Chains A and B, each alone.
Chain A
């Protein structure tokens, strides 16, 4: 790094490539190092097949979710991070409300980031386990389209699973 500061941008460009991710929902842009972004298999495929320009548009993901995804990728791109630290960082990222989590799981699915998909789906599962189904319905806003008789029939079919639940 002997070059003058004004040349720095050019000098460092070949060794540390950056990519710009742009959320198509609210047009926010994020500049990330290439090796961070390449954890997403989708982006990797785009870069490998040379169809990525300077700015990679990311449809259907809002800027706020994209920021979380990038935080996750940054943590996991750091080779010196220990297993425990990563676990803690992951727990911090997924400590969100259920709607953010669903957006996050969709984003992870679209960008094809296996680890993130794993932790978010685990978190969603954790948030509904051992809850009565009425609460699960409320949490997710699932509309009950059974008639009371149908519901009773489905319940009766699996009565063993409903023992101890109202």
Chain B
């Protein structure tokens, strides 16, 4: 090896610091052994991150793990010289031990700006009061902690961002904390307890993301709040209807949100909004709202009314997502149909993208879709996803009698997932004019019959050179429609061979299995399974084959595969794509189970606790025991007889 000049040691100090700060703490500390020049270089690290990568534990014994972790943090804090900018403690083996108190006290004497503490195991950790004297703090993130600031504390003067998950705090202290952080811009709250009324008084708040169980939410002075995502995780009963004076929750909620831009109404929060009097329109419309996502029970009149009110008050909407709660819609009740009456007074002049998911094809839902189609002149794409496969045809037929006046200036692409054929219907017209949609609906039917009889593998194009100009076609020339529909093969092994299924799976996984967002790897015995989850309807594909066929219809193995999704109630919201190799079918099935569970963690970290409870995150480390010399098998001794 030729001897090269040592140039990295002579780099300017701040560049070395920069390179060091990109390394994990462990790698940075290891540079001390390079040469005497490097011995103390890591002491200038601005960010101290103690997580699973930076401290690797090999032992199984809880006490020795704890002692080791405590020693490492103690030692690093003692040797470190430069001011600490960011302190993160998130190791899976740390519990809420008293040593953390000491570290926080040490940090509070410095000028730490970001503090992140995540306790993965054990009880909530009670934060020491010294934390509340970190006046320079900008970002605070806590997981599984008991937050109890002493009443005399003045709050964090420069704190801009709070992220609290799985925390316990009492009502007064929560309110005091929020209102005393005057600079607060971002607030995230997930799975909290100890307080049930969210009184948010934060003049600089811009981002608000909350999910949990609460009774009421009140905003005060939140005039800059732009991004809101709220999920109420419990189904409030009807009789809980509080006797509110004149204003319902909807008016109250929006009165302090004049500059809202993105809103996500998750879980059961629409139920909360629908309590009390719902007006036809909000007193002051949300002029800046451009993204809206609502989870709704389409069979509930109150919820429909609240959604309608919201839609009518959002004239500048660009993107809309409507997610049905299928679990509540199984028993359709008679609902007052409100979507028909309101056709003409609510134009969405900027609405471009619409997604509707989880619907059953009942009257009300179809009317809602038609309501959107009728009022969205610049719609570019609408995606409709039925709750289950057999409902798809009903949905497609329901859209048939679309209102006659359907004004378009661009082209519309309407994607329907029908009985696991993906039917893309794109319509473009050359003239900027209104057209008769009736011809399209008949086309729709003909296409459907085509699909149900036989599946064509290549896209087919149908063109309609002319349609009869009717009353409202102002133009002399008749518009020309070009309708293209492409079908992707269905995953039923009965009438399709594997190549089609392979094509279908590949079309769902652009860029291959490694390029997907929600993935996990599971192992069991000699089997390895790579798993990808995509939003869908609960289909499972293993090595380009249907799961039932691949696992030879064995109910136990199929049960293994389905279990993680069932445990979280996702059995019909994700499609699972697996590449499995090694081992036998039983091992592969269990490997897939682990893979799915790990992939679900990528969906949300909050799944960890339920999955852990079910034991789905544990790698089953049992394997065949080796054969021993002098024995027949691992433990079986050769037969012997006394005489």
A residues with CB within 8 A of B: 99, 102, 105-106, 109, 117-118, 121-122, 124-126, 128-130, 133, 136-138, 140-146, 150-151, 154-155, 157-158, 160-165
Contacts and interface: CB of A to CB of B under 8 A. Distances in A.
B64 to A, nearest CB: 12
Closest 5 CB pairs of A and B: A125-B22, A141-B4, A161-B29, A140-B8, A121-B18
B39 to A, nearest CB: 6
Contacts of A105: 11, 15, 19
12 contacts: A125-B23, A130-B27, A137-B35, A140-B7, A142-B6, A143-B6, A144-B35, A158-B30, A158-B32, A160-B26, A160-B55, A160-B71
Nearest to B1: A138
A151 B33 CA distance: 6
Interface in B32-57: 32-39, 55-56
A106 to B, nearest CB: 7
B33 A154 contact: yes
B438 interface: no
A121 B14 CA distance: 11
Contacts of A155: 33
B638 interface: no
A154 B9 contact: no
B244 interface: no
B15 A129 contact: no
A128 B31 CA distance: 10
B18 A146 contact: no
A141 B31 CA distance: 14
B55 A133 contact: no
A146 B35 CA distance: 6
B32 to A, nearest CB: 6
B68 interface: yes
Contact of A160 (B4, B6, B7, B68): B68
A107 B52 CA distance: 35
Given A102-B8, A140-B6, A142-B8, A121 B22 contact: yes
B403 to A, nearest CB: 38
A141 B34 contact: no
B56 A122 contact: no
Nearest to B68: A160
A151 B3 CA distance: 21
A136 B34 contact: yes
B38 A142 contact: yes
A55 B30 CA distance: 45
A61 B19 CA distance: 20
A128 B38 CA distance: 15
Contacts of B24: 129
A62 to B, nearest CB: 14
A109 B4 contact: no
Nearest to A155: B33
Contacts of B624: none
A154 B6 CA distance: 21
A105 B16 CA distance: 10
B60 to A, nearest CB: 15
Given A105-B11, A117-B18, A121-B15, A141 B33 contact: no
A45 B24 CA distance: 35
A70 to B, nearest CB: 21
Interface centre among B7, B30, B38, B39 (most CB of A within 10 A): B30
